[in-house]
């Protein structure tokens, strides 16, 4: 059996689940009777990530806000309800030099209060606290030459003495919270430190979708991987979902085909980023799911024909982990 894996971010007006279903339906209509299709929605953050995780069965409560103090207030209120899982969306937080301190102030917490809360949950129930990291900052440390103070100081031409004072303040806060520096703690100008101090785990949106769907195992057995995204240009390389998927697929042998509303990149650059080919769907600035399915159908047919498939029918599976049941 030929296995086709579709992983899609938003395309035009279609959110990740809708875009994924549209692309999957195109491969269904074009496919061979000996094929399987699996669809995994994915996104970096915001409402699209929430919908993708809900579709994958990893739903939870969400908090997020551009202002660090308001984020802290929302976080404290949500934790008081003791949900089973709580996502803290750090991708929407705006830059703020004192982000971790302002989050704590908004939550009405001191470092010692955070440590006590982590050690003794209010009613004994643990909360699966998840900090959603901006993909571009997923490996940023909190401290040192690559830390929050140094990066911001470089951008704003801040005097070295002031940069060192800021770094020392963050180091002292991390020590008071009992959290050693690690990749990702510098995300959102250090606000990720508060999530980690509360006992939370840190991950990008793509990593969360990959874990919820068993994506690594599915990529390993796929014959064709299809990546859906809104734009694929030299400026975005398809966005974080395509970049993450291409890296994951590079460990296997399946080709990665990208389908996007707009494509403006050379074949050489595509191959350099692990993509076999990219096709523009068009359909205007905000194509609906039905338009996406219609425009993806000829591409799906050409790939099925190249693989030697006959245009009979495909069996649709809701998520990639279904292959392994």
Which residues form the domain of 294?
Answer: 2-43+214-324
Kindly state whether residues 225 and 317 are assigned to the same domain: yes
Q: Per-residue confidence at 99, pLDDT binned at 50, 70, 90?
A: very high
CATH of the domain at 238: 3.40.50.10350
pLDDT cut 90: percent of the chain above it: 66
Domain check: are 142 and 199 in the same one?
A: yes
Check whether 19 has a pLDDT greater than 80: yes
Task: Using the predicted structure, report yes or no on whether residue 309 has a pLDDT greater than 60.
Answer: no
Same domain, 194 and 269: no
CATH code for the domain in which residue 74 is found: 3.90.1510.10
Could you tell me if 127 and 79 are in contact, meaning their C-beta atoms sit under 8 angstroms apart? Answer: yes
State pTM to two decimals.
Answer: 0.89
Which of 206, 226, 250 represents a domain boundary (last residue)?
A: 206
Spatial contact of 242 and 275, defined as CB atoms under 8 Å apart: yes
Name the average pLDDT for the chain: 88
**pLDDT digit string (tens) for 272-296?**
888 999 999 987 778 889 999 999 9
Cβ atoms 73, 107 nearer than 8 A: yes
> 178, 206, 234: which is the final residue of a domain?
206
Are 110 and 239 members of one domain?
no
Q: Based on the domain organization, do 221 and 277 belong to the same domain?
A: yes
Count of structural domains within the chain: 2
At which of 142, 174, 206 does a domain end? Answer: 206
pLDDT of residue 30: 77
Q: pLDDT tens digits, residue range 197-224?
A: 999 999 999 999 999 999 999 999 898 9
* Claim to verify: residue 118 and residue 259 sit in the same structural domain: no
- The reported pLDDT for the residue numbered 155 is 86
Return the closest-CA partner of residue 83 out of 123, 116, 118, 52: 123
Residues 177 and 228 in one domain: no
Work out the average pLDDT over 253-274.
90
């Amino acid at each position: 059996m030929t296995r086709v894996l579709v992983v899609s971010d938003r395309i035009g007006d279609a959110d990740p689940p809708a875009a994924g279903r549209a692309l999957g339906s195109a491969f269904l209509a074009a496919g061979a009777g000996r094929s399987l299709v699996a669809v995994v929605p994915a996104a970096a953050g915001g409402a699209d990530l929430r919908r993708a995780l809900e579709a994958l069965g990893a739903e939870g409560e969400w908090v997020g806000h551009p202002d660090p103090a308001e984020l802290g207030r929302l976080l404290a209120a949500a934790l008081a309800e003791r949900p089973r899982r709580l996502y803290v969306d750090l991708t929407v937080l705006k830059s703020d030099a004192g982000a971790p301190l302002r989050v704590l102030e908004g939550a009405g917490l001191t470092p010692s209060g955070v440590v006590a809360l982590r050690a003794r949950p209010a009613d004994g129930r643990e909360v699966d606290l998840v900090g959603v990291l901006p993909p571009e900052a997923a490996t940023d440390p909190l401290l040192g030459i690559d830390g929050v103070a140094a990066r911001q100081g470089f951008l704003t031409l801040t005097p070295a003495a002031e940069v060192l004072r800021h770094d020392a303040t963050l180091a002292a806060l991390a020590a008071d919270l009992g959290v050693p520096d690690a990749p990702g703690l510098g995300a959102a100008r250090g606000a990720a430190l508060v999530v980690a101090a509360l006992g939370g785990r840190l991950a990008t949106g793509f990593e969360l979708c990959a874990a919820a769907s068993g994506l690594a195992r599915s990529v390993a057995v796929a014959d064709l991987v299809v990546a859906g995204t809104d734009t694929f240009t030299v400026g975005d390389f398809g966005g974080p979902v395509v970049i993450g998927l291409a890296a994951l697929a590079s460990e296997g042998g399946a080709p990665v085909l990208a389908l996007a509303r707009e494509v403006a990149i050379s074949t050489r650059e595509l191959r350099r980023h692990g993509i076999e080919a990219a096709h523009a769907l068009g359909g205007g600035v905000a194509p609906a799911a039905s338009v996406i399915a219609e425009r993806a159908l000829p591409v799906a047919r050409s790939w099925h024909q190249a693989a030697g498939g006959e245009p009979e029918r495909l069996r649709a599976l809701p998520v990639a982990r279904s292959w392994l049941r």
